[in-house]
């Protein structure tokens, strides 16, 4: 489909822009092993989150919790509702690294996050003429706040992509303090290949310099290209290629496998490989391993990362996810069986036909996308022809979940006046909306949908293709979809 091809071209364009930026001579001068030691604020490169560390830091397209603020602010949109991450990492020698972040999905209004990074070298003896006079503790601190949102309904090739940005305040203290500001940018693609593949691009630590005495030093700006592929449901693989200022480019590979146990518990094994330290650190380095234990809304993760002769590092992090999922396109098999509504203003059809109809039509205008979606679902169950025109109007709703629920409801009501508007919705940017619309047109059984549905069988999304074929089969044999109609 043209929309999907446009997205792929847009993604390829982003990669070319990144490659062009790196190909410039000034960039080559900074992105090389000869530039090692020419940047300040190196703690900004330390990986927060034990899950990410165990996966070799190949995480820009994987992040789906609060640490997305660090890895890719565009991935804040993958947080289902609310998330918090806390990490403590005993580092080399007496140093340690702490991280905390919070993220929240605001539905159609995007997603926000805030975080803090703290690195301490531990106490160091201060001397004058080789005589100790006390101790001091160098430390680094970064405070971040970010925002991400998904491009939808703009008719652009990037519809379905998520973009994000984060601003950070950076302070570094040795004997004197230096501070600066910086920004991060990120892009995350929609899921391709039957929801298995995601691609990512980030550009971090832009704009700031630290000045301790006379000289100013750049922050370790980095470009990162990443991808994540779900081999099958429990098994995820990821890869990132990183171009850091002050070092040579390096690659990161990661994988995790999730085992579901009894009573909702999960046990996850992880491994990764990162080439950043292999040229400069002797001994066993580059490999990382870890595990995660999940229960209900919490996950406790551990990572072991060796640094050859320099020592070994450990990361322990706790991630919490809570709250109701923010509005997202409803699953094909679940739209007719929604979870109990937390929106008290949306009545059920059993409350009395006339009273329910009026209340549901009002709820269809609610400010909250979730309330509008649930109103559309309930109107489909009610089956009143008086709801047809309001539901047709809702096919233009800004929220894809409302468009999908309205299409599904019109298919259940069965009024042929909805055929042409539904045919127009087959061009929607959201794949789940197209799939639900195809199913609705199959239920309506109108031959005007034959040609549009035949074109839809070539859609880039496998689920959309399947639903188009099912709808065509029903148009040719009205009894073909009787089981679906009874659901």
Return the H-helix or E-strand segment holding 454: helix 450-456
Residue 135: its pLDDT value, please?
80
Residue 477: its pLDDT value, please?
56
Residue 26: its pLDDT value, please?
46
The Cα–Cα gap between 452 and 424 comes to: 9
Residue 9: its pLDDT value, please?
53
DSSP 483: H
Q: Strand ranges (DSSP E) for 155-286?
A: 162-173, 177-188, 197-206, 209-211, 216-218, 222-232, 235-244, 250-260, 265-274
Catalogue all structural domains in the chain, each as residue range(s) with its CATH number.
Answer: 2-322 (2.40.160.60), 349-485 (1.25.10.10)
Residue 329: its pLDDT value, please?
39
The Cα–Cα gap between 302 and 297 comes to: 17
Burial of 303 (0-12, 13-18, 19+ CB in 10 A): buried
Residue 290: its pLDDT value, please?
98
Full-model pTM: 0.65
Residue 157, sorted as left (phi over 0), alpha (psi -120 to 50) or beta, turns out to be: alpha
The Cα–Cα gap between 270 and 238 comes to: 11
The Cα–Cα gap between 56 and 53 comes to: 5
The Cα–Cα gap between 311 and 289 comes to: 15
> Which pair of structure tokens corresponds to residue 186?
């990120």
Residue 38: its pLDDT value, please?
58
The Cα–Cα gap between 222 and 25 comes to: 16
pLDDT digits (tens, 9 = 90+) for 204-260: 999 888 887 767 888 999 999 999 999 988 999 999 999 998 888 999 999 999 987
Tokens 């065509």 correspond to: 472
Residue 15: its pLDDT value, please?
54
Collapsing DSSP states into helix, strand and coil, what is residue 260? strand
> Which pair of structure tokens corresponds to residue 29?
């001068």
Cα torsion 210, 213, 214, 218 to 10°: value is -20
Residue 37: its pLDDT value, please?
52
DSSP 340: P
Q: Which residues of the chain, if any, have pLDDT below 70?
A: 1-38, 153-156, 214, 262-263, 325-355, 477-487
Residue 10: its pLDDT value, please?
55
Residue 479: its pLDDT value, please?
46
């Amino acid at each position: 489909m043209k929309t999907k091809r446009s997205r792929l071209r847009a993604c390829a364009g982003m990669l070319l822009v990144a490659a062009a930026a790196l190909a410039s001579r000034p960039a080559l001068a900074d992105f090389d092993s000869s530039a090692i030691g020419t940047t300040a604020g190196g703690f900004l490169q330390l990986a927060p989150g034990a899950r990410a560390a165990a996966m070799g830091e190949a995480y820009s397209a994987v992040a789906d919790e609060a640490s997305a603020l660090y890895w890719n602010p565009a991935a804040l949109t993958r947080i289902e509702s609310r998330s918090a991450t806390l990490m403590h990492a005993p580092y080399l020698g007496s140093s340690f690294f702490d991280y905390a972040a919070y993220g929240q999905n605001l539905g159609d209004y995007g997603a926000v996050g805030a975080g803090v990074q703290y690195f301490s070298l531990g106490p160091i003896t201060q001397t004058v003429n080789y005589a100790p006079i006390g101790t001091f503790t160098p430390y680094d601190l970064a405070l971040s706040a970010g925002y991400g949102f998904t491009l939808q309904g703009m008719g652009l090739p990037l519809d379905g992509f998520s973009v994000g940005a984060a601003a950070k305040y950076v302070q570094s203290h040795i004997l004197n303090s230096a501070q600066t500001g910086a920004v991060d940018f990120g892009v995350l693609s929609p899921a391709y290949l039957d929801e298995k593949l995601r691609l990512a691009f980030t550009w971090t630590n832009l704009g700031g310099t630290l000045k301790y005495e006379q000289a100013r030093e750049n922050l370790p700006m980095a470009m990162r290209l990443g991808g994540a592929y779900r081999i099958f449901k429990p098994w995820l693989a990821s890869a990132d290629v990183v171009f850091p200022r002050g070092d040579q480019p390096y690659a990161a590979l990661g994988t995790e496998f999730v085992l579901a146990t009894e009573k909702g518990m999960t046990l996850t094994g992880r491994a990764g490989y990162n080439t950043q330290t292999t040229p400069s650190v002797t001994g066993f380095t580059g490999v990382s391993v870890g595990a995660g234990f999940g229960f209900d809304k919490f996950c406790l993760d551990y990572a072991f990362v060796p640094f050859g002769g320099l020592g070994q590092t450990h990361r322990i992090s706790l991630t919490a996810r809570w709250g109701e999922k923010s509005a997202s396109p409803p699953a094909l098999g679940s739209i007719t069986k929604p979870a109990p509504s937390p929106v008290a203003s949306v009545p059920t059809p059993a409350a009395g036909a006339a009273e329910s109809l009026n209340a549901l039509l009002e709820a269809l205008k609610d400010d909250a996308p979730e309330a509008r979606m649930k109103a559309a679902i309930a109107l489909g169950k009610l089956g009143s022809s008086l709801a047809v025109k309001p539901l047709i109007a809702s096919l233009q709703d800004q929220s894809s979940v409302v468009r999908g629920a309205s299409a599904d409801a019109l298919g259940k009501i069965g009024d042929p006046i909805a055929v042409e508007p539904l045919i127009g919705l087959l061009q929607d940017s959201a794949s789940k909306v197209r799939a639900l619309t195809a199913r609705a047109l199959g239920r309506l059984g109108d031959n005007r949908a034959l040609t549009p549905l035949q074109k839809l069988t070539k859609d880039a999304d496998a689920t959309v293709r399947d639903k188009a074929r099912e709808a065509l089969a029903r148009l040719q044999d009205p009894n073909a979809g009787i089981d679906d109609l009874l659901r």
